[in-house]
Amino acid sequence: MRWGRVGFMAFLPLLAAAFAGCGREPAAGAAAAAGAYAAPRTPWGDPDLQGMWPIDKLNGTPVQRPEPFGDRRYLTDEEYAERVERLRGLNARYDDEIANNKMGNGHWAEMGRPNRLTSLIVEPANGRLPPLTAEGERRSATMTSSWSNIPFDKVSDFNALDRCITRGMPASMFPFMYNSGIEIMQAPGYVVIRLELVHETRVVPLDGRAPLSPDIVQWLGESRGRFDGDTLVIETTNFNGESPMLIVGPGGKPIPTSRKMRIVERLTRSASDTIDYEIAVEDADVLVAPWKAAFPLERDESYRIFEYACHEDNSAIRNFIETSRFERRQQARATR
Protein backbone atom coordinates (compact mmCIF):
# COMPACT_ATOMS: atom_id res chain seq x y z
CA MET A 1 0.00 0.00 0.00
CA ARG A 2 2.89 2.36 0.62
CA TRP A 3 4.74 3.94 -2.27
CA GLY A 4 8.20 2.87 -1.16
CA ARG A 5 10.06 2.45 2.12
CA VAL A 6 13.43 0.85 1.48
CA GLY A 7 16.13 3.46 1.70
CA PHE A 8 13.52 6.19 2.02
CA MET A 9 15.48 8.33 4.48
CA ALA A 10 18.56 8.33 2.30
CA PHE A 11 16.51 8.99 -0.81
CA LEU A 12 14.29 11.81 0.49
CA PRO A 13 16.80 14.69 0.03
CA LEU A 14 17.13 13.73 -3.65
CA LEU A 15 13.37 13.41 -3.92
CA ALA A 16 12.83 16.82 -2.34
CA ALA A 17 15.29 18.41 -4.74
CA ALA A 18 13.69 16.70 -7.71
CA PHE A 19 10.25 17.97 -6.74
CA ALA A 20 11.25 21.36 -5.38
CA GLY A 21 9.36 22.92 -8.25
CA CYS A 22 6.29 20.71 -7.95
CA GLY A 23 3.23 22.87 -7.45
CA ARG A 24 4.96 26.10 -8.52
CA GLU A 25 3.06 28.42 -10.80
CA PRO A 26 4.41 27.43 -14.25
CA ALA A 27 6.55 29.83 -16.19
CA ALA A 28 5.24 31.09 -19.52
CA GLY A 29 7.62 28.85 -21.43
CA ALA A 30 6.53 25.79 -19.49
CA ALA A 31 2.88 26.63 -20.01
CA ALA A 32 3.44 27.03 -23.74
CA ALA A 33 5.22 23.71 -23.87
CA ALA A 34 2.38 22.04 -21.96
CA GLY A 35 -0.14 23.61 -24.30
CA ALA A 36 1.70 22.11 -27.27
CA TYR A 37 1.38 18.57 -25.89
CA ALA A 38 -0.90 16.34 -27.96
CA ALA A 39 -2.52 13.54 -26.01
CA PRO A 40 -2.20 10.07 -27.56
CA ARG A 41 -5.36 8.52 -29.01
CA THR A 42 -7.14 5.26 -28.35
CA PRO A 43 -7.71 2.95 -31.36
CA TRP A 44 -11.20 4.50 -31.69
CA GLY A 45 -9.88 8.07 -31.63
CA ASP A 46 -10.53 9.40 -28.10
CA PRO A 47 -7.77 11.07 -26.08
CA ASP A 48 -6.06 8.26 -24.16
CA LEU A 49 -6.26 8.71 -20.38
CA GLN A 50 -5.75 5.07 -19.51
CA GLY A 51 -3.38 3.99 -16.78
CA MET A 52 -2.74 4.00 -13.07
CA TRP A 53 -2.97 7.52 -11.60
CA PRO A 54 -2.68 7.13 -7.79
CA ILE A 55 -3.00 10.25 -5.64
CA ASP A 56 -1.17 8.91 -2.58
CA LYS A 57 1.70 11.28 -3.30
CA LEU A 58 -0.59 14.23 -2.50
CA ASN A 59 -1.17 13.10 1.09
CA GLY A 60 0.12 15.80 3.40
CA THR A 61 -1.32 18.52 1.16
CA PRO A 62 -4.43 19.96 2.83
CA VAL A 63 -7.68 19.99 0.88
CA GLN A 64 -8.54 23.30 2.52
CA ARG A 65 -5.89 26.02 2.85
CA PRO A 66 -4.73 26.99 6.35
CA GLU A 67 -5.81 30.57 6.98
CA PRO A 68 -2.28 32.03 7.50
CA PHE A 69 -1.52 31.41 3.79
CA GLY A 70 -4.29 33.78 2.71
CA ASP A 71 -4.72 33.79 -1.07
CA ARG A 72 -1.31 32.23 -1.79
CA ARG A 73 -1.51 28.98 -3.71
CA TYR A 74 2.17 28.08 -3.36
CA LEU A 75 4.60 27.69 -0.47
CA THR A 76 7.69 29.84 -0.14
CA ASP A 77 11.09 28.11 -0.11
CA GLU A 78 11.15 28.27 3.69
CA GLU A 79 7.62 26.88 4.02
CA TYR A 80 8.41 24.14 1.53
CA ALA A 81 11.52 23.16 3.53
CA GLU A 82 9.34 22.90 6.65
CA ARG A 83 6.93 20.59 4.81
CA VAL A 84 9.85 18.43 3.63
CA GLU A 85 11.02 18.01 7.23
CA ARG A 86 7.52 17.33 8.56
CA LEU A 87 6.85 14.63 5.97
CA ARG A 88 10.33 13.21 6.48
CA GLY A 89 9.48 12.59 10.13
CA LEU A 90 6.01 11.20 9.43
CA ASN A 91 7.20 8.89 6.67
CA ALA A 92 10.05 7.65 8.89
CA ARG A 93 7.55 6.18 11.36
CA TYR A 94 7.35 2.90 9.42
CA ASP A 95 11.07 2.23 9.69
CA ASP A 96 11.07 3.39 13.33
CA GLU A 97 8.32 0.92 14.16
CA ILE A 98 10.16 -1.91 12.41
CA ALA A 99 13.32 -1.06 14.39
CA ASN A 100 11.33 -1.07 17.65
CA ASN A 101 9.37 -4.23 16.84
CA LYS A 102 5.95 -2.63 16.97
CA MET A 103 3.09 -1.71 14.65
CA GLY A 104 1.21 1.59 14.79
CA ASN A 105 0.21 4.54 12.60
CA GLY A 106 3.47 4.28 10.69
CA HIS A 107 2.19 1.05 9.17
CA TRP A 108 -1.24 2.49 8.50
CA ALA A 109 -0.92 6.05 7.17
CA GLU A 110 0.81 7.06 3.94
CA MET A 111 1.92 10.68 4.19
CA GLY A 112 2.90 11.29 0.57
CA ARG A 113 5.74 13.46 -0.64
CA PRO A 114 6.32 17.20 -0.43
CA ASN A 115 5.02 19.69 -2.99
CA ARG A 116 4.45 23.44 -2.96
CA LEU A 117 0.65 23.56 -3.03
CA THR A 118 -0.87 25.32 -0.02
CA SER A 119 -4.17 23.52 -0.66
CA LEU A 120 -6.02 21.44 -3.22
CA ILE A 121 -8.91 23.95 -3.25
CA VAL A 122 -8.21 26.85 -5.64
CA GLU A 123 -11.56 28.68 -5.65
CA PRO A 124 -12.52 30.71 -3.66
CA ALA A 125 -9.17 32.49 -3.81
CA ASN A 126 -8.52 31.83 -0.12
CA GLY A 127 -8.54 28.09 -0.80
CA ARG A 128 -11.25 27.46 1.80
CA LEU A 129 -14.72 25.98 1.61
CA PRO A 130 -17.53 28.55 1.47
CA PRO A 131 -19.70 28.90 4.60
CA LEU A 132 -22.62 26.58 5.17
CA THR A 133 -26.17 27.77 4.60
CA ALA A 134 -28.64 27.60 7.48
CA GLU A 135 -29.83 24.27 6.08
CA GLY A 136 -26.23 23.12 5.76
CA GLU A 137 -25.60 23.98 9.41
CA ARG A 138 -28.71 22.06 10.42
CA ARG A 139 -27.66 18.98 8.46
CA SER A 140 -24.06 19.17 9.66
CA ALA A 141 -25.20 19.21 13.30
CA THR A 142 -26.98 15.88 12.79
CA MET A 143 -24.03 14.12 11.13
CA THR A 144 -22.23 11.55 13.26
CA SER A 145 -19.60 8.90 12.61
CA SER A 146 -17.38 6.41 14.42
CA TRP A 147 -15.26 9.41 15.49
CA SER A 148 -18.18 11.05 17.32
CA ASN A 149 -18.17 11.02 21.12
CA ILE A 150 -21.70 9.68 21.44
CA PRO A 151 -23.41 6.51 22.66
CA PHE A 152 -23.93 4.46 19.50
CA ASP A 153 -27.34 2.85 19.22
CA LYS A 154 -28.25 2.45 15.54
CA VAL A 155 -26.66 2.00 12.13
CA SER A 156 -27.52 5.57 11.12
CA ASP A 157 -25.16 6.85 13.84
CA PHE A 158 -22.37 5.94 11.38
CA ASN A 159 -21.55 7.60 8.09
CA ALA A 160 -21.32 5.88 4.71
CA LEU A 161 -17.54 5.37 4.97
CA ASP A 162 -17.86 3.75 8.42
CA ARG A 163 -20.40 1.39 6.88
CA CYS A 164 -18.10 0.49 3.96
CA ILE A 165 -20.60 1.85 1.44
CA THR A 166 -18.73 4.80 -0.07
CA ARG A 167 -16.64 7.89 0.61
CA GLY A 168 -19.09 9.70 -1.63
CA MET A 169 -18.35 12.54 -3.98
CA PRO A 170 -16.32 14.68 -4.24
CA ALA A 171 -14.37 13.06 -1.37
CA SER A 172 -13.64 9.91 -3.40
CA MET A 173 -11.45 11.90 -5.80
CA PHE A 174 -9.25 13.33 -3.03
CA PRO A 175 -6.25 11.60 -1.42
CA PHE A 176 -6.76 9.63 1.76
CA MET A 177 -4.35 8.24 4.35
CA TYR A 178 -4.28 4.88 2.56
CA ASN A 179 -5.66 3.10 -0.52
CA SER A 180 -5.50 6.20 -2.74
CA GLY A 181 -5.25 4.31 -6.01
CA ILE A 182 -7.10 5.53 -9.11
CA GLU A 183 -7.12 3.60 -12.38
CA ILE A 184 -8.66 4.90 -15.61
CA MET A 185 -9.85 2.51 -18.30
CA GLN A 186 -11.57 3.26 -21.60
CA ALA A 187 -13.74 1.50 -24.15
CA PRO A 188 -15.64 2.92 -27.12
CA GLY A 189 -18.30 5.21 -25.64
CA TYR A 190 -17.13 4.86 -22.04
CA VAL A 191 -14.55 6.00 -19.50
CA VAL A 192 -14.24 3.95 -16.32
CA ILE A 193 -12.65 5.34 -13.13
CA ARG A 194 -11.70 2.62 -10.67
CA LEU A 195 -11.24 3.71 -7.05
CA GLU A 196 -9.19 1.65 -4.59
CA LEU A 197 -10.83 3.01 -1.45
CA VAL A 198 -14.17 1.24 -0.84
CA HIS A 199 -13.57 -0.68 -4.09
CA GLU A 200 -15.88 1.46 -6.26
CA THR A 201 -16.03 1.91 -10.02
CA ARG A 202 -17.42 4.98 -11.75
CA VAL A 203 -18.74 4.19 -15.24
CA VAL A 204 -19.03 7.34 -17.36
CA PRO A 205 -20.93 7.02 -20.67
CA LEU A 206 -19.86 9.33 -23.51
CA ASP A 207 -22.68 8.60 -25.97
CA GLY A 208 -24.84 11.65 -25.26
CA ARG A 209 -27.60 9.70 -23.55
CA ALA A 210 -30.29 11.64 -21.71
CA PRO A 211 -29.86 12.29 -17.97
CA LEU A 212 -31.69 10.13 -15.48
CA SER A 213 -34.93 11.26 -13.90
CA PRO A 214 -34.19 13.33 -10.77
CA ASP A 215 -36.20 10.73 -8.84
CA ILE A 216 -33.39 8.21 -9.36
CA VAL A 217 -30.57 8.96 -6.91
CA GLN A 218 -27.33 7.15 -6.13
CA TRP A 219 -24.43 7.32 -3.68
CA LEU A 220 -21.95 8.51 -6.33
CA GLY A 221 -24.57 10.20 -8.48
CA GLU A 222 -24.97 9.61 -12.20
CA SER A 223 -22.28 10.82 -14.57
CA ARG A 224 -22.34 11.89 -18.20
CA GLY A 225 -19.12 12.64 -20.07
CA ARG A 226 -17.85 14.20 -23.26
CA PHE A 227 -14.53 15.18 -24.78
CA ASP A 228 -13.90 18.89 -25.32
CA GLY A 229 -10.76 18.69 -27.44
CA ASP A 230 -8.25 16.79 -25.31
CA THR A 231 -10.22 17.41 -22.10
CA LEU A 232 -12.62 14.88 -20.65
CA VAL A 233 -15.55 16.75 -19.08
CA ILE A 234 -17.70 14.78 -16.60
CA GLU A 235 -20.92 16.21 -15.18
CA THR A 236 -22.44 14.32 -12.24
CA THR A 237 -25.89 14.83 -10.69
CA ASN A 238 -28.60 12.61 -9.08
CA PHE A 239 -26.87 12.29 -5.70
CA ASN A 240 -28.80 10.82 -2.79
CA GLY A 241 -27.51 13.47 -0.34
CA GLU A 242 -26.63 10.86 2.29
CA SER A 243 -22.81 10.95 2.26
CA PRO A 244 -20.49 13.73 3.44
CA MET A 245 -19.10 16.18 0.91
CA LEU A 246 -16.00 16.20 3.09
CA ILE A 247 -15.76 14.43 6.44
CA VAL A 248 -14.19 17.49 8.07
CA GLY A 249 -14.63 21.10 6.96
CA PRO A 250 -14.32 24.58 8.53
CA GLY A 251 -14.36 24.48 12.31
CA GLY A 252 -14.07 20.70 12.29
CA LYS A 253 -17.65 20.28 11.10
CA PRO A 254 -18.63 17.54 8.68
CA ILE A 255 -19.85 19.00 5.36
CA PRO A 256 -23.17 17.53 4.20
CA THR A 257 -24.55 17.08 0.71
CA SER A 258 -28.03 17.33 -0.75
CA ARG A 259 -29.77 15.97 -3.82
CA LYS A 260 -29.07 19.30 -5.53
CA MET A 261 -25.31 18.76 -5.61
CA ARG A 262 -23.75 19.07 -9.05
CA ILE A 263 -20.12 18.26 -9.85
CA VAL A 264 -18.15 19.02 -13.02
CA GLU A 265 -14.72 17.41 -13.49
CA ARG A 266 -12.14 18.15 -16.17
CA LEU A 267 -9.27 15.80 -16.95
CA THR A 268 -6.63 16.97 -19.42
CA ARG A 269 -3.57 14.90 -20.22
CA SER A 270 -0.84 17.54 -20.28
CA ALA A 271 2.18 15.22 -20.50
CA SER A 272 2.91 11.53 -20.91
CA ASP A 273 2.86 11.09 -17.13
CA THR A 274 0.47 13.87 -16.02
CA ILE A 275 -3.25 14.58 -16.06
CA ASP A 276 -4.37 18.05 -14.95
CA TYR A 277 -7.41 17.34 -12.80
CA GLU A 278 -10.05 19.90 -11.83
CA ILE A 279 -13.27 19.40 -9.89
CA ALA A 280 -15.97 22.07 -9.38
CA VAL A 281 -18.69 21.49 -6.77
CA GLU A 282 -21.94 23.34 -6.19
CA ASP A 283 -24.75 22.56 -3.75
CA ALA A 284 -26.94 25.56 -3.03
CA ASP A 285 -28.84 23.71 -0.30
CA VAL A 286 -25.78 23.40 1.95
CA LEU A 287 -23.15 25.92 0.76
CA VAL A 288 -23.54 29.65 0.06
CA ALA A 289 -21.25 29.42 -3.01
CA PRO A 290 -19.55 26.83 -5.23
CA TRP A 291 -15.90 25.79 -4.88
CA LYS A 292 -13.20 24.24 -7.04
CA ALA A 293 -10.09 22.13 -6.51
CA ALA A 294 -7.25 21.41 -8.92
CA PHE A 295 -4.16 19.20 -8.72
CA PRO A 296 -2.02 16.94 -10.93
CA LEU A 297 -2.53 13.20 -11.32
CA GLU A 298 0.80 11.47 -11.89
CA ARG A 299 1.00 8.20 -13.78
CA ASP A 300 2.58 5.30 -11.90
CA GLU A 301 2.23 1.94 -13.59
CA SER A 302 4.15 0.28 -10.74
CA TYR A 303 1.24 1.02 -8.36
CA ARG A 304 -0.94 -1.96 -7.55
CA ILE A 305 -4.49 -1.64 -6.24
CA PHE A 306 -5.06 -3.76 -3.13
CA GLU A 307 -8.33 -5.29 -2.05
CA TYR A 308 -10.19 -2.92 0.25
CA ALA A 309 -11.43 -5.62 2.60
CA CYS A 310 -14.40 -3.73 3.97
CA HIS A 311 -18.06 -4.57 3.41
CA GLU A 312 -21.44 -3.35 4.55
CA ASP A 313 -22.69 -5.21 7.63
CA ASN A 314 -19.12 -5.77 8.84
CA SER A 315 -18.70 -6.56 12.53
CA ALA A 316 -17.22 -3.17 13.51
CA ILE A 317 -20.58 -1.36 13.48
CA ARG A 318 -22.22 -4.08 15.58
CA ASN A 319 -19.29 -4.02 18.01
CA PHE A 320 -19.58 -0.23 18.46
CA ILE A 321 -23.31 -0.51 19.21
CA GLU A 322 -23.01 -3.50 21.55
CA THR A 323 -20.16 -1.85 23.45
CA SER A 324 -22.11 1.41 23.86
CA ARG A 325 -25.13 -0.49 25.16
CA PHE A 326 -22.96 -2.45 27.59
CA GLU A 327 -21.34 0.77 28.88
CA ARG A 328 -24.76 2.35 29.45
CA ARG A 329 -25.94 -0.70 31.39
CA GLN A 330 -22.82 -0.53 33.54
CA GLN A 331 -23.34 3.18 34.19
CA ALA A 332 -26.99 2.62 35.10
CA ARG A 333 -26.03 -0.06 37.63
CA ALA A 334 -23.37 2.18 39.14
CA THR A 335 -25.90 4.96 39.80
CA ARG A 336 -28.50 2.77 41.50
Distance in angstroms (rounded) separating the CA atoms of residues 146 and 163: 10
- Find the helix or strand (DSSP H, E) in which 53 lies: none
Distance in angstroms (rounded) separating the CA atoms of residues 209 and 189: 11
**Domain housing 6:** 1-36+75-116
Distance in angstroms (rounded) separating the CA atoms of residues 151 and 336: 20
Residue 67 located in a structural domain: no
Number of domains in the chain: 2
My answer on whether 174 and 158 are in the same domain is yes
My answer on whether 144 and 285 are in the same domain is yes
Residue 231 located in a structural domain: yes
Residue 333 located in a structural domain: no
Q: Three-state SS string across 286-303, please?
A: CECCCEEEEEEEECCCCC
Residue 64 located in a structural domain: no
The gap from C-alpha 222 to its chain's centroid, in whole angstroms, comes to 18
My answer on whether 85 and 135 are in the same domain is no
Rounding to the nearest 10 degrees, give the CA dihedral for residues 22, 26, 30, 35.
110
My answer on whether 104 and 47 are in the same domain is no
Is 320 strand, coil or helix? helix
Distance in angstroms (rounded) separating the CA atoms of residues 24 and 116: 6
Distance in angstroms (rounded) separating the CA atoms of residues 137 and 28: 43
Residue 321 located in a structural domain: no
My answer on whether 222 and 196 are in the same domain is yes
My answer on whether 230 and 303 are in the same domain is yes
For residue 104, the one-letter residue type is G
Residues of the chain with pLDDT under 70: 1-35, 248-252
Q: Please give the C-alpha separations between residue 166 and each of 2, 100, 182, 205, 305, in angstroms, as whole numbers.
A: 22, 35, 15, 21, 17
My answer on whether 265 and 289 are in the same domain is yes
Q: What is the pLDDT of residues 211-240, one digit of tens each?
A: 999 999 999 999 999 999 999 999 999 999
Residue 175 located in a structural domain: yes
Q: Could you tell me if 54 and 182 are in contact, meaning their C-beta atoms sit under 8 angstroms apart?
A: yes
- Give the model's pLDDT for residue 102: 85
Distance in angstroms (rounded) separating the CA atoms of residues 280 and 289: 11
- Give the model's pLDDT for residue 21: 43
My answer on whether 158 and 275 are in the same domain is yes
Residue 324 located in a structural domain: no
Q: Could you tell me if 113 and 15 are in contact, meaning their C-beta atoms sit under 8 angstroms apart?
A: yes
My answer on whether 88 and 130 are in the same domain is no
- Give the model's pLDDT for residue 9: 35
Residue 331 located in a structural domain: no
- Find the helix or strand (DSSP H, E) in which 87 lies: helix 77-91
My answer on whether 4 and 147 are in the same domain is no
170 cis-preceded (ω within 30 degrees of 0): yes
The CA R_g of the chain, rounded to the nearest whole Å, is 21
Percent of residues, the chain, with pLDDT higher than 70: 88
Give backbone dihedrals phi and psi of 220, rounded to 5 degrees, phi first.
-100, 10
My answer on whether 164 and 274 are in the same domain is yes
My answer on whether 137 and 279 are in the same domain is yes
